[in-house]
Amino acid sequence: MSESSTAGPTKAAARYDKIKTLSPAKFRRLTGVKPTIFARMVITLKRAEKKTRKRGGKPKLTVEDRLLLALECLREYPTYFRLGQSYGVSESSAWYISRWVENTLIKDKQFALPGNSPYENLHLL
């Protein structure tokens, strides 16, 4: 069965709206970056999205919320299933969003991010 059409940006979009009013110290404690760096990251992601987005539907998550998802992934190492549940997207969408944000910010060379996801080098016996 497909995802419900009511579980859209309302639940997830409220994430950034709730934290943007935090003090800079609390914002950094929560996200791992200062609000000024976060804003620069958002500008970079919006610029990249504008260049590459040609067609298709509107994304379920705002750029700010996609960045929050990726920062949470880098900071806490949750499963993509849990991230998807938290942000109202599928597990595969959570993975795709995380990879897109990481790769876009790494390519920009303005930000210091790990080059690989911690899950990439995990070898199972």
Distance CA 63, CA 97 (A): 10
Contacts (Cβ under 8 Å, ≥6 apart) of 6: none
- For residue range 66-114, what is the model confidence (pLDDT) as tens digits? 999 999 998 888 999 999 999 999 999 999 999 999 999 988 888 776 5
Mean pLDDT taken over the chain = 81
Find the range with the poorest average confidence among 7-16, 22-31, 58-67: 7-16
**Do the Cβ atoms of 93 and 7 come closer than 8 Å?**
no
Residue 123 confidence class, pLDDT cut points 50, 70, 90: very low
Q: What is the pLDDT of residue 119?
A: 47
